[in-house]
Structure 1
């Protein structure tokens, strides 16, 4: 309220007991000496000059009328300071703020009055209740009337704790109802479970089910903690209780009964989660949706790609959602903007298909999948598709509405008699082909959407953001991109080359430069049905082309000869190095000699020590040994005369040690000579001599053999008279 007024402003108020002209006010001020009051009169600052007078100089009746007009009863200028540390319900906070606003208005009304406090309170209360004070509607609704004594009580309470002015009578009773406390809260929990299980149950049905669960009586707690059994409350009580439960637990019930509505309206999403993406082509989002319009060949779907940093969009119209449509959308976006760093997609079969994943991997694009049934993780693309449906689709012929109710409203524009026997094309005025609709949507994206200001871009347009960006665009040759988008062979796209070529479907494609047994990845040539492109399955390198004679229009025998010549040339180039190695192997040492040399190098330089031995014998072994020894001794018993002398001489020569100056030739040693040499070495070692190392190694190996063991037994039995 303005408390300093000029003569013109006082005259304009037309207050009681005061003139209604500027000259009259000036004359009154001159007569009563207002100009000489140094506290309530001052020179006016501003253009024109003059004097300003405080409203305290006006007569009491004029002051009351002026204050009545200009002191509004409304909220305080700093409502935040009204909030107390004590938590209040919404109703209690409104009650408190209304009473504080009334007290503030009274304080302003009281200033400058020449009445005592009782008179000011009585006058203020009468003005309020008579409706002559300007009171905001919400305050009068909460406080329609009050007495002077109530006003005084409010003033005293506000000085101690202004939160005590807030009263919520409903909050005091909240949670104390019969059904909420019955059976220790079990009835309330049962009712919540019923509502969550079947939201369409009426209060009467809930009451019936409660009777089935708890019987016709329930237990409630009365004053003093006394538990009392009472009859099941009437239907009206259930209606009020259900209303309160649904209001109190609205969020959790919505999550249980309507998950889609919970995700779209209640699930915490936040804002600015991708605020760090400030450069174009860093992050894209892709999604698809049926178009809310019909083409001449039926309803189509729209694939949309959005660049998060610039909000630019690219669309692609397709008959059915499939992996090929995803690839063609990416082709349009990559040729227009360049290759992105990362793309966010959902778990649809068209996005998780092998062709889509192979394409993204071939282009070096990282893929981020959103969680199942979590559209909020792709909020940008979901929002732009909604904008597209409402801003672009509604303009094209064949619009069928965004919902069932919209469709019914469009159909109802024509009477049933007019629509009798008509198809949807005539009912919805379908005119566009898929290609024409694609042209409409391209124009909308380029001419409308990218030149519209976005709040999230700071009131800038997507076109301006992209134009001002200093990023480097990664381009891909269109021919290479088309080849990566070419359809692959059925299945996982891989085949094994055989002598008949590569089988794709029922046709065989020949490629002589790729040898049989090679696993290849096959892509069709989109411009030639008789040709396929073959790539390596490990590194993805391009291996060559394969052609089918029937689909290419070439005579089969001609193509076979040509491909066979390519194979011969390929094999000849590989045989050059191989034949060189084969010639070297034919001329050099045998393979067994080369291997024996390696085996000798691998032998350990260790002599195995003799192990303790015991004679093993069985009846069969003893019989065999007896037969063998008997056969060896039989000829000795039959010798006589000169034959016996010759045998004795030869045996002596074999047992006698060789002369030191005679070089022993071991090339053709007999078993007995080898055994003799072993005995000689054993004797020398026992005498402390140091034989040659090679002899020691030979002795160690010989002692482990069966020949030594057999002759040793023979020698121990017959001594030096061993029979030869």
Structure 2
């Protein structure tokens, strides 16, 4: 509880429980309950809960701690409420102060200049007043000097009365807003012109207004002048107008792109890749003409172009081979940002990656090269050049390389409407184009004066090499080379002959016999498929190299003889292995069997039904001792007779 002191009159006016409602009653209560226990030592205040009132009339003042308990509680709550109100007033005042300054900052310079002129006038009045001039005289002199009326100057002074000197400027700014009344316009007419103007076809406002006039004349709507409606339309948020008339992409461009700091990486820690179709006609070895596609990998730290390949189209083979060049030359990156296209999301490259959403990840899917090498894959936003820094390099290539003098006549233009006058007059041999590309990329990497935070005036190559020498780099082994030079495909090993059939070819090796009928991963060079394939299990473990089995001519006895010899040698080898494994012959196994004691054969039971030698009818068994020889001979004769009769009938 605070040590605020109250007079008896103040305590009576609060209507506190346990206290009288009059000043005299509070005085009598204080005397009766001896609130001033040390009155003999008066005017000393030994307990600190009372004091003599200063000022005319004298008397005493009491702290809340001397009051009865019920009065103390009520007074404590009252003080808390008052403190809360005071704090809210301070906060409200601060908010109002911030609003005034914010409003002042948004004013045009003309109004700010007028506020500064008024402030200088009031400061001059205060200076004259401090110098001894009466305020009224100072106001008249200053009003006359700045050519304003005395009433106007007093009005300025009233605007800042009771406010801190530091906050006078925004309160002195003119508050008139000019003409605010809008010309009447029917709500239906406003809706019509908005619907007509805010659409992707982007019609001219004059055309929309002309159509609106025709409709308004028929409907009897009230519409203002064209310029008035144009100003009202322009007052709408620009982002809304851009979205309606230009679409999502134009609206996205109004929002600032994210600026990413790549200096947190080290050399080769992270790379990004993409494809670029050149605006140049080239002639391929088979005579066809087309625009080549560059597939490239770029270091994110320095911007250096690390590896690239040229193909007819953007294909997974080019991505795989370019990544192989990158790993062989520099090392294995820790992370890679890729486009989510079919070729970059191919299972050859990223198979088994958990966040690979383009294709469904199956249990029998082969692990891609990046997945096997431990490269963390990130997918960029489709059709978003801002997500891939390599797009900036491609833009340079479209100027510095595509318009090289050696490619004159082959440039196609970057749009249909931007075709050169010599369009289609030349097609560059692919060999020359690859040479121009190699020289252009080398010059791009070595060009000094790069202004990025990492390069700071150096070239991409200098920045990369300086950091590469002191960075932890993962190098690939000779065995891992098979992962990126060859492509991966999940195939089955045939159970009949343990062969692998792939792209119209057969592959076989002895190690496949052990996994016949199962699925494996076959890695192969698409350009040299007849060199054989490397076989892996689905878990990534290496099995063997399987050569290609070429189909022999149907009448070729030499090929048949070679094949028979190879098969005979293989079978002989398997027999030798079998002989080595079976050291104990079957006679030895028989000799190890235990000898069983001889036993008399068990008597056979007497059958109840006996089938005769001829015929299909069953007769009831008769004990042997009850059958006479004559009966047996008679039965035999009847059977023979039936057999002869049946043959004659046939």
- TM interval, short-chain normalised: 0.5 to 0.7
Instruction: Report SS of the residue matched to 1:523.
Output: strand
Match for residue 565 of structure 2? 561
The whole-number CA distance in structure 1 between the counterparts of 2:534 and 2:430 is: 43
Please point out which of 287, 296, 300 is paired with 1:308: 300
Equivalences for residues 494-513 of structure 1 within 5 A: 494-497=491-494, 498-499=496-497, 501-513=499-511
Query: Using a 3 Å threshold, how does the CA distance of structure 1 residues 121 and 437 change in structure 2: closer, same or farther?
Result: farther
The whole-number CA distance in structure 2 between the counterparts of 1:240 and 1:581 is: 108
Query: Using a 3 Å threshold, how does the CA distance of structure 1 residues 266 and 216 change in structure 2: closer, same or farther?
Result: same
The whole-number CA distance in structure 2 between the counterparts of 1:156 and 1:243 is: 39
Contact 2:339 2:380 in 1 (8 A): yes
Match for residue 455 of structure 1? 453
Q: In the TM superposition, what whole-angstrom CA distance separates every residue of 1:5-48 from its partner, at most 9, and x where no partner exists?
A: xxxxxxxxxxxxxxxxxxxxxxxxxxxxxxxxxxxxxxxxxxxx
Query: Using a 3 Å threshold, how does the CA distance of structure 1 residues 118 and 443 change in structure 2: closer, same or farther?
Result: farther
Contact 1:493 1:521 in 2 (8 A): yes
Equivalences for residues 328-367 of structure 1 within 5 A: 328-357=321-350, 358-367=368-377
Q: In the TM superposition, what whole-angstrom CA distance separates every residue of 1:150-205 from its partner, at most 9, and x where no partner exists?
A: 8997787578653355568779749x6655xx54xx76666555555434133356
Instruction: Give the CA deviation at 1:305.
Output: 2.2
Please point out which of 284, 287, 293 is paired with 2:271: 284
The whole-number CA distance in structure 1 between the counterparts of 2:445 and 2:552 is: 42
Please point out which of 248, 252, 259 is paired with 2:248: 259
Match for residue 321 of structure 1? 314
Match for residue 67 of structure 2? none
Match for residue 544 of structure 2? 543
Matched, 1:381 2:390: yes
The whole-number CA distance in structure 1 between the counterparts of 2:228 and 2:456 is: 53
Q: In the TM superposition, what whole-angstrom CA distance separates every residue of 1:29-79 from its partner, at most 9, and x where no partner exists?
A: xxxxxxxxxxxxxxxxxxxxxxxxxxxxxxxxxxxxxxxxxxxxxxxxxxx
Instruction: Give the CA deviation at 1:354.
Output: 2.5
The whole-number CA distance in structure 2 between the counterparts of 1:371 and 1:293 is: 27
Instruction: Report SS of the residue matched to 1:386.
Output: helix
Instruction: Give the CA deviation at 1:546.
Output: 1.9
Contact 1:92 1:167 in 2 (8 A): no
Matched, 1:445 2:444: yes
Give the number of the structure whose residues are more often helix, by fraction: 1
Query: Using a 3 Å threshold, how does the CA distance of structure 1 residues 374 and 560 change in structure 2: closer, same or farther?
Result: farther
Equivalences for residues 565-584 of structure 1 within 5 A: 565-566=569-570, 569=573, 573=577
The whole-number CA distance in structure 2 between the counterparts of 1:156 and 1:162 is: 13
Which structure would you say has the larger Rg?
1
Q: In the TM superposition, what whole-angstrom CA distance separates every residue of 1:335-366 from its partner, at most 9, and x where no partner exists?
A: 33211011111211211122222222233212
Contact 2:239 2:251 in 1 (8 A): no
Match for residue 250 of structure 1? 239
Instruction: Report SS of the residue matched to 1:198.
Output: coil
The whole-number CA distance in structure 1 between the counterparts of 2:298 and 2:207 is: 50
Query: Using a 3 Å threshold, how does the CA distance of structure 1 residues 383 and 537 change in structure 2: closer, same or farther?
Result: same
Match for residue 22 of structure 2? none
The whole-number CA distance in structure 1 between the counterparts of 2:152 and 2:570 is: 110
Equivalences for residues 676-691 of structure 1 within 5 A: none
Contact 2:498 2:512 in 1 (8 A): no
Instruction: Give the CA deviation at 1:460.
Output: 5.7
Contact 2:271 2:298 in 1 (8 A): yes
Query: Using a 3 Å threshold, how does the CA distance of structure 1 residues 431 and 557 change in structure 2: closer, same or farther?
Result: closer
The whole-number CA distance in structure 2 between the counterparts of 1:238 and 1:85 is: 32
Query: Using a 3 Å threshold, how does the CA distance of structure 1 residues 517 and 581 change in structure 2: closer, same or farther?
Result: farther
Query: Using a 3 Å threshold, how does the CA distance of structure 1 residues 396 and 165 change in structure 2: closer, same or farther?
Result: farther
Query: Using a 3 Å threshold, how does the CA distance of structure 1 residues 307 and 171 change in structure 2: closer, same or farther?
Result: farther
Q: How does the TM-score come out when normalised to structure 1? A: 0.50
Tell me: higher relative CO, structure 1 or 2? Use CA pairs within 8 A at least 6 residues apart. 2
Instruction: Give the CA deviation at 1:503.
Output: 2.2
Query: Using a 3 Å threshold, how does the CA distance of structure 1 residues 364 and 578 change in structure 2: closer, same or farther?
Result: farther
The whole-number CA distance in structure 2 between the counterparts of 1:164 and 1:485 is: 76
The whole-number CA distance in structure 2 between the counterparts of 1:576 and 1:528 is: 39
The whole-number CA distance in structure 1 between the counterparts of 2:476 and 2:566 is: 34
Q: In the TM superposition, what whole-angstrom CA distance separates every residue of 1:83-116 from its partner, at most 9, and x where no partner exists?
A: 865543876243333334556888999999xxx9
Match for residue 201 of structure 1? 203
Instruction: Give the CA deviation at 1:448.
Output: 1.1
Q: In the TM superposition, what whole-angstrom CA distance separates every residue of 1:192-247 from its partner, at most 9, and x where no partner exists?
A: 555554341333564588799999558xxxxxxxxxxx5244544443333333xx
Instruction: Give the CA deviation at 1:334.
Output: 2.1
Instruction: Give the CA deviation at 1:386.
Output: 3.1
Contact 1:203 1:238 in 2 (8 A): no
Please point out which of 167, 170, 173 is paired with 1:163: 170
The whole-number CA distance in structure 2 between the counterparts of 1:458 and 1:585 is: 84
Query: Using a 3 Å threshold, how does the CA distance of structure 1 residues 388 and 231 change in structure 2: closer, same or farther?
Result: same
Instruction: Report SS of the residue matched to 2:298.
Output: strand
Query: Using a 3 Å threshold, how does the CA distance of structure 1 residues 558 and 350 change in structure 2: closer, same or farther?
Result: same
Equivalences for residues 483-494 of structure 1 within 5 A: 484-487=484-487, 492-494=489-491
Contact 1:533 1:544 in 2 (8 A): yes
Equivalences for residues 457-536 of structure 1 within 5 A: 461-462=459-460, 463-464=462-463, 466-468=465-467, 470-477=470-477, 480-481=480-481, 484-487=484-487, 492-497=489-494, 498-499=496-497, 501-515=499-513, 516-525=516-525, 528-536=528-536
Instruction: Give the CA deviation at 1:512.
Output: 3.6
Report how many aligned residue pairs link the two structures: 452
Between 1:436-445 and 1:342-351, the stretch displaced more is: 436-445
Instruction: Give the CA deviation at 1:321.
Output: 0.9
The whole-number CA distance in structure 2 between the counterparts of 1:254 and 1:487 is: 45
Instruction: Report SS of the residue matched to 1:351.
Output: coil
Please point out which of 94, 105, 126 is paired with 2:109: 94
Instruction: Report SS of the residue matched to 2:251.
Output: helix
The whole-number CA distance in structure 1 between the counterparts of 2:566 and 2:225 is: 96
Contact 1:300 1:320 in 2 (8 A): yes
The whole-number CA distance in structure 1 between the counterparts of 2:104 and 2:200 is: 31
Between 1:530-539 and 1:498-507, the stretch displaced more is: 498-507
The whole-number CA distance in structure 1 between the counterparts of 2:486 and 2:326 is: 17
Instruction: Report SS of the residue matched to 2:481.
Output: helix
Instruction: Report SS of the residue matched to 2:301.
Output: coil
Instruction: Give the CA deviation at 1:406.
Output: 8.6
Q: In the TM superposition, what whole-angstrom CA distance separates every residue of 1:130-159 from its partner, at most 9, and x where no partner exists?
A: xxxxxxxxxxxxxxxx99998997787578
Query: Using a 3 Å threshold, how does the CA distance of structure 1 residues 546 and 100 change in structure 2: closer, same or farther?
Result: same
Query: Using a 3 Å threshold, how does the CA distance of structure 1 residues 372 and 452 change in structure 2: closer, same or farther?
Result: closer
Query: Using a 3 Å threshold, how does the CA distance of structure 1 residues 479 and 92 change in structure 2: closer, same or farther?
Result: same
Q: In the TM superposition, what whole-angstrom CA distance separates every residue of 1:522-567 from its partner, at most 9, and x where no partner exists?
A: 3335675533113123223132222224599993541453256336
Q: In the TM superposition, what whole-angstrom CA distance separates every residue of 1:691-718 from its partner, at most 9, and x where no partner exists?
A: xxxxxxxxxxxxxxxxxxxxxxxxxxxx
Q: In the TM superposition, what whole-angstrom CA distance separates every residue of 1:495-531 from its partner, at most 9, and x where no partner exists?
A: 4234283323333334244214343333335675533
The whole-number CA distance in structure 1 between the counterparts of 2:257 and 2:491 is: 43
Match for residue 68 of structure 2? none
The whole-number CA distance in structure 1 between the counterparts of 2:592 and 2:385 is: 74
Contact 1:303 1:329 in 2 (8 A): yes
Instruction: Give the CA deviation at 1:320.
Output: 1.5
